[in-house]
Chains A and B, each alone.
Chain A
Amino acid sequence: MKSSPGYFYNTVGNLGRFVLTFFNACKEMCYLYTRSLWSVLRSTIFWHNTINEMNFIGVNSVPLVAIISTFTGMVISLQVGQIFADFGVSSQLGNVLAVAFGRELAPVLTGVVVAGRVGSSIAAEIGSMKVTEQIDALKTLSADPIDYLVAPKLLAAFLMMPLLTIVSNILGMAGGFMVAVHQKAVTAVAFFESIASYITPWNFIGGLIKAFFFGLVVAGVGAYKGLHTENGAVGVGTATTQSVVTGTIYIFILNYFLTIILY
């Protein structure tokens, strides 16, 4: 069967359909972003919902980001500290941690946490509102679902991701610092001197710029998957899972290209 023309056309057909679906999704996500921007600029966005979302996305994510970042910083200090000690360059630990966290780990770890916690809940909330006709009910009461749901979540993620990334930077460095000082016999002075001599503010600013994009991607994917939910409760489950998987993949791919552009 595999060599028959039917199989060939089928494969081409499936590929074609996949490409079409992908471009349709891109087109619709662009619409979500531009329409949300419009919603903010014209202030038709529901500000009250935005505040609630900022609380949920930002404040409630702090504990998870804090734990993950602290322990990642600590483990890097342990591993890299050993190698550096063997080469007699332990004092450079601060420098390495600052590069690792400032440029990559803080935005990416925070992005993954937010994709898992926030992207999924955005997809679940919007998806269950879709299948229980609440999205339609919003429209009949002349509240645009973009103004009411999508724009507040996008704006909140856009604003809170960099703040969470700052938290991640601080705690990741602090975790690394503690291990360096207490277990790797690096002096505090040497730790900070190595940062001061190599690290520029751009090291951290670039990471925060990444965070803005990751916030938009995660919330945008969640909203898109939610709005396209069909098939009742099963569909809500599928949309939720897909939003985490897709959001996380996009973060890692986008991160590579942002690193090329920013550093």
Chain B
Amino acid sequence: MISIHELGFDIDGKTILRDINLEVAPGTTMVIMGPSGCGKSTLLRLVCGLAKPTRGRVLISGKDVQSLTPAEHRSIGMVFQSSALFDSLSVYENVAFGLRRDKTYRPAEIEVRVREGLARVGLPEEDLLQKMPADLSGGMKKRVAIARTLAANPQVILYDEPTNGLDPIMAMTINKLIRSLQRDLGVTSLVVTHDLTTARHVGDHFGMMLDGALVETGTFDQILKSKHPVIRQFLNVS
């Protein structure tokens, strides 16, 4: 579903990502772990086409992300680290945003899908619809952001540090949500995080990234048993 070939990315003469090779099978969740600044967000930006690779390529269902049509682009959902809700729009308008871009939806359908999306992330309350993002807690913002991504019916969802900055209970709610979306909707997911609890809960396959390179892949146990000294250090302090 997602295949990454020899991916590399430079900015201002500095190499941010080097020689990344990765396959995420349809309907599975791949988690990339790594310390801050190792290039996790950059990887996601390349996978959803927000940035152009310097070397190599990213294929989604066999097509290069750089040459997708707008509709195909909308099938790749991204949940940003800061949630990135549009703060001038209500919760309803945020979730409806992608649907309004797709001219095939009629207004009645949009309303149904917005309500469905919010119910799926555990926010069915009617009075939430007209609230502005500034009035929401961090956990609610994250869930609205996931609902906005879901509304566009994505086949692939990318999560950038989905539980960062949330309390442990909310973090667990988000972990379960990510799992349930994969199970119920069959979406293919790529999650990047530095949180081991989140990683273990949501992932089927795991990778460890250090300084722009993917240094280890495998099951969670395989990563835990890694002999790589920096990985050992990362796991011990986490």
Contact = CB atoms under 8 A, between A and B. Distances in A.
A140 B50 CA distance: 7
B18 interface: no
B2 to A, nearest CB: 15
A142 B101 contact: yes
Interface in B4-62: 45, 48, 50
A137 B78 contact: yes
22 contacts: A125-B88, A132-B82, A132-B87, A133-B80, A133-B81, A133-B84, A134-B84, A134-B85, A136-B45, A136-B50, A136-B78, A137-B84, A139-B50, A140-B48, A140-B50, A140-B76, A141-B74, A141-B98, A141-B148, A142-B74, A142-B98, A142-B101
Nearest to A142: B70
Contacts of B50: 136, 139-140
Interface in B142-197: 148, 152
B80 A137 contact: yes
Nearest to A139: B50
B95 to A, nearest CB: 11
A136 B74 contact: no
Contacts of A125: 88
B159 to A, nearest CB: 13
Contacts of A136: 45, 50, 78, 80, 84
Interface of A: 125, 128-129, 132-134, 136-143
A142 B97 contact: no
Contacts of B87: 128-129, 132, 134
Contact of A140 (B73, B81, B85, B88): B73
A148 to B, nearest CB: 9
A133 B87 CA distance: 11
B92 interface: no
Interface string B75-119: 011101110111110000000011001000000000000000000
Contacts of A137: 78, 80, 84-86
Given A134-B86, A134-B87, A137-B86, A143 B101 contact: yes
Query: Which of A128, A142, A143 lies at the interface centre, i.e. has the most chain B CB atoms within 10 A of its CB?
Result: A142
A23 B87 CA distance: 33
A143 B84 contact: no
Contact of A142 (B73, B81, B85): B73
A142 to B, nearest CB: 4
A144 to B, nearest CB: 10
Counting from the closest, the 10 A-B pairs by CB-CB distance are A137-B84, A133-B84, A142-B70, A133-B80, A141-B98, A140-B78, A132-B82, A134-B84, A133-B82, A142-B73
Contacts of B76: 140
Contacts of A139: 50
Contacts of B148: 141
Given A137-B78, A141-B74, A142-B98, 10 more contacts: A125-B88, A128-B87, A129-B86, A136-B78, A137-B86, A140-B50, A140-B76, A141-B98, A141-B152, A142-B101
B98 A132 contact: no
Nearest to A49: B88
A129 B87 CA distance: 8
A140 B77 contact: yes
Contact of B101 (A128, A129, A133, A141): A141
Nearest to B81: A133
A139 B65 CA distance: 13
A138 B80 CA distance: 12
A141 B82 CA distance: 16
A136 B87 CA distance: 14
Query: Which of A129, A136, A141 is packed against the most chain B CB atoms within 10 Å?
Result: A141
Contacts of B98: 141-142
A140 B148 CA distance: 11
A142 B100 CA distance: 11
A143 B99 CA distance: 11
A186 B71 CA distance: 69
